[in-house]
Amino acid sequence: MPTARGGDVTIRDLSKSFALGGRQLAVLRSLNLDIRSGECLVIVGASGSGKTTLLRILAGLERADGGAVAIDGKRIEGVGEERAVIFQEPRLLPWLTVLGNVAFGLEVRGIAKAEAEKRARFYIALVGLAEFSDAYPRQLSGGMAQRVGIARALTVQPEILLLDEPLGALDAMTKISMQEELARIWSEENVTMVMVTHDLEEAIYLADRVLILPREKGGAARLIDVDLPRPRERSESRFVRYREELLREFGLH
Amino acid sequence: MTLQHIEKTVGIGRHEGGSGTGMEPLHLLTRTSARILSRYGVLLGFLVFWQVAASSGWVNSAVLPPVDTIVAALWKGLIGGSLLGDIAISLQRAGLAFAAAVVVAIPLGLVMGQARAVETALDPILQLFRQTSALALYPVFILLLGLGEASKVFVIFWATLFPLLLNTISGVKEVDPKLLEMARAYGARRLTIFRRVVLPGAVPSIFVGLRLGATTALLLLIASEMIGANKGIGFQVMNAQYNFQIPLMFAAIVILAALGLIANQVLVVLQRRLCRWNVSAG
Ligand SMILES: Nc1ncnc2c1ncn2[C@@H]1O[C@H](COP(=O)(O)OP(=O)(O)OP(=O)(O)O)[C@@H](O)[C@H]1O
Ligand SMILES: [Mg+2]
């Protein structure tokens, strides 16, 4: 897989508000952030703090009110081929097999079916579903379906992978093994990863840096460097200390 | 390797362990006949009851002839060929109207389901037309198109149009917006989204419309053939009753029921082939 790639994200003065019952609700207030190529940035924050909104703006699915997002110096307008999104739900097309779903992203980008399926098979194997290539989504468990969604995003070989609580709906056991899988994929694919989560342990397990979105108006976004060797050990004392630090940020400790 | 494959293997394993090999064919036979009985038992009982009631004089057999008499009349009509012409003309009327309804309703429904403005503009008149019984409009169509084929085909077309159109529209509208957004996130353009997400997503609902439409088409076929026709299955029902050929009347009714069943079965098979992914189609 490719080595040196783009994927530097520059966020400048980004703001976004929604009309809510006649008044404006400011969700993002002049946010500044640089995401380095190849890093794993995890976004946490209270419910309603704008995590999904930020990710959707980065994906190009939502327009910001002010400010700009640039990728490798180029301002983004809408969706782009250098990005891929993994949603909270798998969002698989029920009428396509696993293979069809994983190849879908490439096919809509104009890659011939045979070539798309060849590349799709590689990533289906990578997420451990080679045996299920011909299964339909209804025949998959929740965790398997989510892995198909991940394979679909990887197949288009994005520079930037945007993930919105991709493991939120999974049970604890599946979640931990999927976190390990994501860590492995991230290091193997050399991709910039921006991921939203509610799970602080997941954040520390995966992140180079954790972005904490402020809970109330006027608060500032905070960044925490997670300086731990990989693969990370959840029970290690430094890991636990990072967890406590994050809890303190949330005022829970 | 699909999951069905695994289930099948499990099924065979259990079967072999269950009983001795010598019992197998007998076992299978009783199992099959039990399944047939549980599915068609009541129908069979109904026919037997009818036969007994009619031939033993519990009911007036001039009005409700025994089953075997009806079957004989049916046989004579089909083999002798006297009913074949009626079947042909009826199939032509219903088929033409149904095909026209499909050609108009499905494309229109696909557009209306996606273009809010078109739907808003057309919805009130659609609701009005839909609530006006096609049968009530039949005299109007006769005035406009004459008592011949055109008015018959048109009234069937008219009635078939609405279930097809409304189900196509709702099929398109009910496609999961999250799937549409997923396709958009991968850079799919409007036409690609339509072809790869909207259309396949709407197919199950379109089939609901097709099946309702087929039923409606047959209903209106009969009604239209009972007024001012001199050929057709619907005409035969009325005509046989008028001439007191009651077994022939029932034979024609049986043919109508059979047409309905066949049309539905054809659509079910077609749907299964097109929607292998859909559980409810299976
Ligand atoms: N399309 C929309 N229209 C109106 N308000 C919206 C819209 N999308 C988001 N909001 C509002 O913006 C705020 C932030 O929403 P967002 O989904 O970004 O939060 P979040 O941090 O992802 O929360 P959660 O952790 O619960 O997923 C919420 O108060 C929400 O009500
Ligand atoms: Mg969210």
- DSSP of B84-152, one letter per residue? HHHHHHHHHHHHHHHHHHHHHHHHHHHHHHH-HHHHHHHHHHHHHHHHS-HHHHHHHHHHHH-SSHHHH
Specify the 3-state DSSP secondary structure of B11: helix
Mutate to test the interface with A, among B1, B4, B175, B186 (most CBs of A within 10 A): B186
Which of A96, A105, A134 is nearest residue B186 as measured by Cβ atoms?
Answer: A105
The pLDDT tens digits of the residues spanning A161-190 come to 999 999 988 888 888 988 998 999 899 888
Q: How confident is the model at residue B195 (pLDDT cuts 50, 70, 90)?
A: very high
Rounded distance, CA B100 to CA B154, Å? 9
Which residues does chain B have within 8 Å of residue A85's beta carbon, measured at their own beta carbons?
A: 182, 185
Residues of chain A positioned with their CB less than 8 A from the CB of B179: 91, 93
Contact assignment for A93 to B197 by CB distance below 8 Å = yes
**Percentage above 70 pLDDT, chain B:** 90
pLDDT score, position B217: 95
**pLDDT for position B11:** 37
Phi and psi, residue B25, nearest 5°: -60, -40
Q: What pLDDT does B23 receive?
A: 61
Residues within 6 Å of ligand 1 by CB:
A 18, 20, 25, 27, 45, 47-53
Task: Using the atom order of ligand 1, give the atom closest to the CA of residue A51.
Answer: 21
Nearest CA residue ID for atom 13, ligand 1 = A48
A109, A79 Cβ separation under 8 angstroms: no
Q: What is the DSSP string of chain A?
A: ---S----EEEEEEEEEEEETTEEEEEEEEEEEEE-TT-EEEEE-STTSSHHHHHHHHHTSS--SEEEEEETTEE--S--TTEEEE-SS----TTS-HHHHHHHHHHHTT--HHHHHHHHHHHHHHTT-GGGTT--GGGS-HHHHHHHHHHHHHHT--SEEEEESTTTTS-HHHHHHHHHHHHHHHHHHT-EEEEE-S-HHHHHHH-SEEEE--SSTT---EEEE----SS--TTSHHHHHHHHHHHHHTT--
pLDDT at A249: 84
Q: Which residue of A has its CA nearest to B198?
A: A93
Q: Across residues A194-213, what is the average pLDDT? A: 95
CB B241 within 8 A of CB B207: no
What's the pLDDT score for residue A173? Answer: 87
| Ligand 1 atom 10: residue of nearest CA | A18
Say whether A91 and B179 touch across the interface (CB within 8 A).
yes
pLDDT digits (tens, 9 = 90+) for B29-81: 888 888 888 889 999 999 999 999 988 888 888 889 999 999 999 999 899 88
- The 3-class SS string of B224-252 reads HHHCCCCCCHHHHHHHHHHCCCHHHHHHH
Q: Band the pLDDT of B163: cuts 50, 70, 90.
A: very high
How far, in Å, from the CA of A128 to the mean position of ligand 2? Answer: 28
Q: What is the pLDDT of residue A6?
A: 79
Residue A194: what pLDDT?
97
Q: DSSP class of residue B21?
A: G
pLDDT (0 to 100) of residue A253: 57
Q: Which of B186, B275, B277 sits opposite A109 (nearest CB)?
A: B186
Q: Which atom, in ligand 1's list, is nearest to the CA of A62?
A: 1
Report the DSSP beta bridge partners of residue A9.
A35, A71
Q: What is the pLDDT of residue A221?
A: 87
pTM (2 d.p.):
0.84
Confidence of residue A7 (pLDDT cuts 50, 70, 90): confident
Say which amino acid occupies A119: R
CB contact under 8 A, B186 and A89: no
Rg of chain B taking only CA atoms, in angstroms: 25
pLDDT at residue B270 is higher than 70: yes
Return the domain boundaries, chain A: 92-157
| Cβ contacts of A81 on chain B, cutoff 8 Å | 187
pLDDT, position A55: 96
pLDDT tens-digit profile of A133-158? Answer: 999 999 999 889 999 999 999 999 99
In angstroms, what is the span from residue A14 Cα to ligand 1's centroid?
16
Asked if residue A246 has pLDDT above 70, the reply is yes
Residues of B in contact with A107 (CB under 8 A): 196
Q: Smallest Cβ distance to B184: which of A79, A104, A137?
A: A79
ipTM: 0.91
Share of chain A above pLDDT 70, in %: 97
pLDDT for res B204: 93
B78-274 carries CATH number 1.10.3720.10: yes
Unique residue bearing structure tokens 């860590």:
A183
d(CA B216, CA B101): 11
Query: Contact, A85 vs B178, CB < 8 A?
Result: no
The CB density around residue B66, as the number of other CB atoms within 10 Å, is: 18
Q: How does pLDDT run across A64-99, given as a tens digit for each residue?
A: 999 999 999 999 999 999 999 999 999 999 999 999
Alpha-carbon separation of residue B10 from A97, B3, B13, B14, B17 (angstroms): 23, 11, 5, 6, 11
Mutate to test the interface with A, among B6, B175, B182, B199 (most CBs of A within 10 A): B182
Q: What is the mean pLDDT of residues A205-228?
A: 89
pLDDT in tens, B80-113: 888 999 999 999 999 999 999 999 999 999 999 9
Computed over every residue of chain A, the mean pLDDT equals 92
Residues in chain B with CB shorter than 8 Å from the CB of A105 are: 186
Candidates A61, A93, A101, partner chain B, best to mutate (most B CBs within 10 A): A93
Q: What is the DSSP letter of B194?
A: I
Greatest distance between any 2 Cα atoms in chain B: 74
B120 touches chain A (CB under 8 A): no
Q: How far is the CA of A105 from the centre of ligand 2 (A)?
A: 23
Interface of B with A in 1-20 (CB under 8 A): 1-3
Q: How far apart are CA B31 and CA B29, in angstroms?
A: 5
Residues on A contacting B at a C-beta cutoff of 8 Å: 59-61, 79-81, 84-85, 87, 89, 91, 93-96, 104-105, 107-109, 131-132, 134-139, 156
Average pLDDT of the residues in A2-20: 84
CA A139–ligand 2 middle distance (angstroms): 27
Count of helix runs (H) and strand runs (E) in chain B: 12, 0
More confident of the two residues B212 and B16: B212
Candidates B71, B68, B37, B73; CA nearest to B51 is B68
Residue nearest atom 30 in ligand 1 by C-alpha distance: A48
Contact (Cβ atoms closer than 8 angstroms) between residue B50 and residue B67:
yes
- pLDDT tier, B22 (very low <50, low <70, confident <90, very high otherwise): low
pLDDT tier at B16, thresholds 50, 70, 90? very low
Asked whether the predicted pLDDT for residue B1 surpasses 80, the reply is no
Query: What residues does each domain of chain B span?
Result: 3-61, 78-274
